[in-house]
């Protein structure tokens, strides 16, 4: 499981930022809602189900720790880099068309993953899945936002987020069971009937959409972002798996940093037409929220990749047991998010966005004994409950804080960027986790505990960034 179970809370701002257009009203809005839920569930399920399969995939294909991290990052890299341009492509070519295209690509890529004879083919399939998700995710959310208005919109987005979180939560449990009774390839075949249902509903019930504005695509920015993230991810993965910095990963890291710097130059020149307008960062609060998202989701993403792996490899858990071990995490968030949201409405988001990550950091410290002596009730469960409490404090006000930190004309790109940052941080964390995935026995536990301590520091830093950079009112529009 990754942060997929709470990703819908982060993504819901994308839907909320798209106003309904009367010309695009659907004849069957409930079936449109069902379409967006099913299509988005492909991303949420796949973002969580693969983690419990890492140990058996490694043994089946003879993959080391660096290769296992790419099983996750092969998907996260294109999704993170292309999420914003996928939404812009929907505005240009039609959201329904891009939703169908992304779903078809995701389904075909899933079949490639299921039939992969080696790591190379598995990674090609995972990359194609990420591209498909980058097309279907923002456009399913844009369709959702354009279909409903007023209270109906809030209710529809709430249903979408709840079902998406449930899909991300149940993914590891279902995936673990499939792995135990069949084979790891079944977790990819699981996507095919879901994709087919989404395609049938989209073709029949989602109306054709026409956009008055036809923005140009920031292809140069997307290419530089993808190439820069790929080079840095490869460098971090190789260095982390080897536990040493050699010339090749150092060159990759330097090249990746240079491409990301050039990306900023290109974005600055494109102004508001950029996939990431730099004007957003004139808002001090938006800078703080972006930094908080990167640090907090990075720490969480790394932990939730490692915990199932350690439970299986060091704790002797089955894949089903490892998937079930983390089930209290989304259940706790679901039970407390409404209450946390009402507190944020009264007090403003700054306090919760500062305190929540500190609670998460405390949960990380409690997670250090996982995989060692002790039962589930004395090691894993307390840590998961504390981490989920801290995350519910933070994610509940995050959507509102992001939308209120920028000018109304920038809410769509700001929410999309926040979602992309959340996934990019998981990309970096998984690359660094290669050192843990490459270890065995006592070394595995030692490296896992080191990673947990680092994660605690990163989570605490997220809270500090919120406290120092967010305005007390939560509004700081640049």
- The reported pLDDT for the residue numbered 112 is 97
pLDDT of 251-296, one tens digit each? Answer: 999 999 999 999 999 999 988 888 888 888 988 999 999 999 999 9
Does residue 478 fall inside a structural domain? no
- The reported pLDDT for the residue numbered 67 is 87
Q: In this structure, is the dihedral angle defined by the CA atoms of residues 128, 132, 134 and 137, taken in order, positive or negative?
A: negative
Domain edge (last residue) among 276, 295, 316: 276
Domain edge (last residue) among 260, 276, 292: 276
As a whole number of Å, the end-to-end CA separation of the chain is 37
- The reported pLDDT for the residue numbered 461 is 96
Same domain, 201 and 328: yes
Same domain, 268 and 297: no
- The reported pLDDT for the residue numbered 474 is 44
Does residue 354 fall inside a structural domain? yes
pLDDT of 232-250, one tens digit each? Answer: 999 998 888 888 888 888 9
Which residues contact residue 1 at a Cβ distance below 8 angstroms, ignoring those fewer than 6 apart?
48, 51, 52, 168, 169, 171, 172, 304, 308, 323, 326, 329
pLDDT of 157-206, one tens digit each? Answer: 778 877 777 777 788 888 889 899 998 999 999 999 999 999 999 999 88
Tokens of residue 440, six digits:
């065995």
- The reported pLDDT for the residue numbered 38 is 92
Tokens of residue 365, six digits:
């410290």
- The reported pLDDT for the residue numbered 157 is 77
Decide if pLDDT at 217 tops 50: yes
Q: What is the DSSP letter of 470?
A: S
Run of H or E including 34: helix 29-49
Sorting pLDDT into bands at 50, 70 and 90, what band is 478?
A: very low
Domain edge (last residue) among 276, 296, 321: 276
pLDDT of 159-171, one tens digit each? Answer: 887 777 777 778 8
pLDDT of 48-65, one tens digit each? Answer: 788 888 899 999 999 888
| Residue pair 136/40 in contact by the 8 Å Cβ criterion | yes
Does residue 379 fall inside a structural domain? yes
Q: What are the phi and psi torsion angles at 474 (to 5°)? A: 85, 0
pLDDT of 295-350, one tens digit each? Answer: 999 999 899 889 999 999 999 999 999 989 988 888 888 777 777 777 777 777 88
Q: What is the rounded average pLDDT of the residues 372-376?
A: 87
Domain extent, residue 264, equals 219-276
Decide if pLDDT at 222 tops 70: yes
Same domain, 243 and 132: no
Does residue 258 fall inside a structural domain? yes
Place of tokens 């519910």: 392
pLDDT of 74-94, one tens digit each? Answer: 998 898 888 888 888 887 888
CA nearest neighbour of 294 among 409, 422, 184: 422
Decide if pLDDT at 23 tops 50: no
CA nearest neighbour of 192 among 96, 119, 125, 123: 125
By percentage, how much of the chain surpasses pLDDT 70?
A: 91
Decide if pLDDT at 413 tops 60: yes
Residue 431 sits in a domain of what CATH number? 1.20.1250.20
Decide if pLDDT at 5 tops 60: no
Same domain, 323 and 421: yes
Same domain, 374 and 447: yes
CA nearest neighbour of 134 among 97, 185, 83: 83
Sorting pLDDT into bands at 50, 70 and 90, what band is 475?
A: very low
Least confident of 38-42, 128-132, 363-367: 38-42
Largest CA distance in the chain: 62
**Residues 332, 334, 338, 344: what is their CA dihedral angle, to the nearest 10 degrees?**
60
Same domain, 58 and 10: yes
Does residue 233 fall inside a structural domain? yes
Same domain, 340 and 226: no
Same domain, 283 and 272: no
Decide if pLDDT at 131 tops 90: yes
Does residue 374 fall inside a structural domain? yes
- The 10 Å Cβ neighbour count of residue 466 is 30
Same domain, 271 and 330: no
Query: Can you give the length of the chain in residues?
Result: 478
What angle in degrees, to the nearest 10, is found between the helix axes of 328-347 and 150-181? 160
Same domain, 100 and 241: no
- What is the rounded average pLDDT for all residues in the chain? 86
Number of domains in the chain: 2
Decide if pLDDT at 19 tops 70: no
Same domain, 271 and 359: no
Sorting pLDDT into bands at 50, 70 and 90, what band is 231?
A: very high
Does residue 129 fall inside a structural domain? yes
Cα separation, 248 vs 239, whole angstroms: 9
Helical residues (DSSP H) of 94-149, grouped into ranges: 95-115, 119-147
Does residue 96 fall inside a structural domain? yes
Decide if pLDDT at 473 tops 60: no
Same domain, 272 and 341: no
Decide if pLDDT at 375 tops 80: yes
């Amino acid at each position: 499981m990754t942060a997929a179970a709470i990703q819908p809370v982060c993504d819901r701002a994308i839907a909320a930022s798209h106003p309904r257009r009367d010309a695009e009203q659907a004849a069957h809005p409930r079936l449109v809602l069902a379409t967006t839920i099913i299509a988005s569930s492909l991303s949420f399920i796949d973002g969580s189900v693969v983690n419990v399969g890492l140990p058996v995939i490694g043994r089946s294909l003879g993959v080391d720790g660096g290769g296992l991290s790419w099983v996750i990052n092969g998907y996260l890299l294109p999704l993170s880099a292309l999420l914003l341009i996928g939404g812009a492509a929907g505005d240009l070519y039609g959201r329904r068309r891009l939703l169908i295209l992304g779903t078809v690509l995701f389904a075909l890529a899933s079949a490639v993953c299921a039939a992969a004879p080696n790591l190379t083919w598995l990674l090609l399939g995972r990359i194609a899945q990420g591209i498909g998700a980058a097309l279907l995710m923002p456009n399913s959310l844009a369709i959702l936002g354009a279909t409903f208005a007023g209270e109906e919109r809030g209710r529809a987005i709430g249903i979408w987020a709840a079902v998406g979180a449930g899909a991300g939560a149940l993914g590891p449990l279902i995936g673990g069971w499939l792995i135990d009774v069949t084979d790891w390839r079944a977790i990819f075949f699981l996507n095919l009937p879901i994709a087919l249902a989404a395609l049938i509903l989209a073709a029949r019930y989602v109306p054709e959409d026409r956009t008055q504005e036809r923005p140009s695509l920031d292809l140069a920015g997307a290419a530089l972002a993808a190439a820069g993230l790929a080079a840095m991810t490869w460098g971090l993965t190789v260095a982390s798996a080897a536990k040493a910095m050699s010339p090749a990963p150092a060159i990759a890291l330097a090249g990746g940093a240079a491409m990301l710097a050039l990306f900023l130059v290109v974005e600055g020149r494109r102004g508001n037409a950029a996939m990431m307008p730099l004007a957003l960062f004139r808002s001090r609060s938006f800078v703080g929220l972006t930094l908080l998202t990167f640090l907090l989701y990075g720490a969480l993403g790394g932990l939730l990749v490692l915990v199932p792996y350690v439970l299986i490899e060091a704790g002797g858990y089955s894949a089903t047991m490892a998937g079930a071990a983390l089930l209290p995490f989304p259940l706790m968030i679901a039970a407390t998010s409404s209450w946390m949201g009402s507190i944020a409405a009264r007090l403003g988001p700054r306090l919760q966005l500062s305190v929540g990550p500190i609670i998460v950091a405390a949960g990380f410290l409690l997670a250090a004994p996982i995989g060692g002596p002790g039962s589930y009730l004395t090691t894993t469960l307390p840590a998961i409950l504390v981490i989920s409490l801290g995350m519910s404090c933070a994610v509940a006000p995050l959507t509102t804080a992001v939308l209120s930190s920028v000018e109304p004309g920038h809410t769509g790109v700001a929410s999309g960027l926040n979602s992309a940052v959340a996934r990019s941080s998981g990309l970096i964390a998984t690359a660094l986790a290669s050192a843990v995935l490459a270890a065995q026995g006592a070394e595995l536990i030692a490296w896992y505990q080191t990673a947990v301590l680092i994660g605690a520091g990163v989570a605490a830093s997220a809270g500090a960034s919120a406290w120092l950079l967010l305005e007390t009112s939560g509004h700081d529009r640049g």
